[in-house]
Structures are given as structure tokens and as C-alpha cells.
Structure 1
Amino acid sequence: MGYYIKVEPNVKVYVEDLNPKGKHTILFLHGWPGSHDLFEYQFDELPKRGYRCIGVDQRGFGQSDRPFTGYDYDRLSDDVRNVVEALKLKDFTLGGHSTGGAIAVRYMARHKEYGVARLALFAAAVPSLIRRSYFPYGLTKQAVEEIIKETYNDRPKMLRGFGDMFFFEYITGPFSDWFFQLGLQAAGWATAAVARTWLGEEELFSDMKKITVPTLILHGIHDKVCLFPLAEAQQKGIKNSILVPFAYSGHGLFYDQRDKFNKKLMEFIKS
């Protein structure tokens, strides 16, 4: 079941709601530059196991409205709050991949964990996607600047290159084309704007310290986008967190090792 939820007077985001009467709700926040469809191989399986799965397309991506502004973590986490309130969600698991993980962590801090019983981070861009003077891990600023430049110059080429580094092992041509199309659905300006947030002051060190709920960290050791030391920093910075390394995964661990991913997520929710 899909529908739209208003998050600002002139902005609506698209929500896919599977198995609304499920025993436990998982709200999924996708990574850049995809949509909720990235979680297809979770949505195929988890509702069959009795879970309610809600996928949100962030503004500018997927089937959501594409305003020209509003792509900082504060605004994107406020959009999530609007979805949570509209659907009256309580005691749910908030799951976020990559930039979606960063938005989830900002939500936890900014909205005081509103409605969330558990947090799950998948290859999250936390605490910082880029290297900083006080954080020697992550991508270089130059690498992100190149992504932004290519977004404005030849976005399809940039997306192809990003897809090539996303998964750990060989993916078929048709699957690569599917992943490519997800990125093309986004607005170019939204794609660049979110990438620009990584370069600015968007870091989540203090946000992590405000998280009190049980937290699961799933991260591929071969991740070339959000490098594995980010996961170790998350475990160090978030109380009551568990880190599960994925030995045969890159950034797309929800596909690279989808059976293990689904199993670990369900075990965490039941624990």
C-alpha cells in the first residue's frame, strides 16, 4: 500500500506500507541516491514473517516531491517525525542505510527518540562520511567534491560509477541497470544537495551520545563508501550498541548478504 504524507505545506513524501497489521513495525530510511526500493529484498521477506515494513522516499528522491531546498539532516529528520506522527507509530524499530542512517541518528537526537524502541544502522554515514581533522576515517573532501561536480556535469555517468563501488561481488547487468534507474529517479539538485551536506558541518558525534535505545550496527567490511572504521566509531559512540561485521559485503550489504541481513535484523528485534 502506497500513499503520500505532507511534511511541509507544499511538500509530500511517498510512503510504502507493507503488512500494516504486522506484529512489529520497522521504518526504513534509504541511502543516497536511491529510494525505498533499495530494500526490496527485505520487503519481499520480512512481511511474510509478520513484520510491518514502512519505506519512506526522502524528499527529492524516489516518488516523493522534489523541492529545491530542505536537504540538511535537520529538515530530513523533521520529515521523518511528520511521517511517524501521521502514522501514529509507537515502539517501532528505526532502520537507516548510509545517509538514511545519518538521518536516523539525527532524528534520535533532535526528536528525543520519539516513538523509537530500537535503532538499526546499516552501513551508516555516521559519525561523518568525510575525513576531518579530528576524524581520520571516511572519504576525502576531494572525492565528494568530484561527486558533486559530476552530478552537475554528467549525472548518469556519476551514478554508474557509484553503482560500480556499491556492491562487493559481481552483480548482473540487469541488476546494475535496476540500481542505476533508482538513482535516476532522484532530482539532480537533490542528489547534489545531499552530497553537499556531507562536506559541511553535518557530523553526528554529539548526536550519537544521546541515543539510549538498543542499537544494532550492520556493516560490510569491504564498504568503499562508508568505510568500516565508521562502524567501529558508531559502536564506541553509541551506548548499548552491537556491531555485526559482514565479511562478504560492501556498501549494499542488504543485497550482498541479504539472508544474513534479514536474519540479524529479526533476531535483534526479538531480543
Structure 2
Amino acid sequence: MAEVMLVLHDVSPQSWEDYKPFVDAVDALGDVPMTLLVVPDFHHHNHVHNFPAFRRMMDMRLARGDELALHGFYHADDGPMPHTPRDYFMRRVYTWEGEFYGLSEADALVRLEAGLEVFARNDWPVQGFVAPAWLMSEGTRQALKRLPLAYTSDPQHLYRLPDFTQVSAPGLVWSARSAWRRGLSKVISDWRQQQWQQAPCIRLGLHPVDMRHDYSREYWLHTLTRLLEQGRAPMTKFAWLQRQAQQRQAA
């Protein structure tokens, strides 16, 4: 059976208002579990402990069958200024959000453990970590091997921890900040869907900015609906990995 994974990035008290109409529309489709990538303290001023209504909403999403995964801690690159052209491009041109791009193992471990503590304090089970912008230093990779997490991911793969076993999981993602970016994103996504018709799974990676434009928001809802109508089963990322492991054992 083929599956589809719906993944909401950058989930925080601030972004939930953007996501709520879309989430309500997905809920209306039936039992469609999602993976919510939660940022404990988005940009240093949205700590989840200060927003009890948001915490209650996450409790409700868990009860409904969604998965919560750790998505950085601040989702902001607040390290020292980059010193090489490559680092400048990755940290100031490609994105300003690569929080874990340049961290040492010790610094990455501090932030990862702080994030896990937030989850533990709220009784939120957590199996996965996704680095902001999918950027991870070697120190971050080493830190992840020391923690009780089951997986991490990049745009086209999931990785079982602690050994980083690669599992193909192709994903669609948009750049929706401007009209031309949204148009180009649609062309690329439509092409990729054609290439991935036989793929065991397809991930839909949504961001809050996608929700602020009718064009991109409706694209995601239409795409999800079509994939469900084609017979793909909706699953969270961790549930899908568990299913893959069970199938491998049975083979």
C-alpha cells in the first residue's frame, strides 16, 4: 500500500493561526493524521510555555492521532557571523533559519536536550527531530546519536537513528514568498508527482507562508485530496517508519 505523509513545518503559537483554517479543512476529510514540527521558542519570543491555549491544542492534536516532532529550538541562526563564502551563502542567502548548521556537538546537544525537556514537561511523546531548513552540522549528527530519538530527515529521505540508516521518502515543498516562486513551485511539484506515481510514499512539506496565499493553500489541499482519492493511506512519519520496519521483518 502506498502512503502520503502530511507534515506541517514551523509549528508555533504564532504560526498556528496561519495553519488553523487548513487544518480544519483536512480534519473535514476524515481521519488524516499529520506530523507537526514544533518549535519550542520560535525566534526567541514564542516559547510554548507562555501560550497555554497552544499547548492544549497540541494535546488535542495528539489525541486525534497526530505526531509531534522537535523542529529545532529557536528556528533562528543566532551564531557568530559566517567566515567563509560557502557559510555566508548557506546562512545568509539560502536561509537565515539554519539554527543547527554550524553548531558543535556540545552546543547542539544543549539545544536538543532543551527541546526534549519542553516536550517532556508537556507530556508530548517525541520520536523525531527535523533541523530547521534541514541543515545539520556534523556536530548535530553526533549529538543525535546520543539521544533517545528514532529518526531525522532531509527533503527526500528519512534517517533511522542512531545509525542514520537512509530510507527514501520523496517530498514536495514550495517556496511561496512571491507570486513567481509560487508559480514555479507548482510546475516543479506537478512534474515531481508525475515522476513519483509509483513511489511507496510521498511527503507533503507545508510551511506557514504557504497558508497565507490562496493559491498555495488550495494547491496543498487539492493535492492531498487527490492522493487520498488515488488510494494512498495517510500516515505520520514515525508510523510510516514503523510500518516499513514491520514489512522488512516479515519479508
State the TM-score, normalizing by the size of structure 1: 0.31
User: Which structure carries more relative contact order (alpha carbon 8 Å, separation 6+)?
Assistant: 2
Greater Rg over alpha carbons, structure: 2
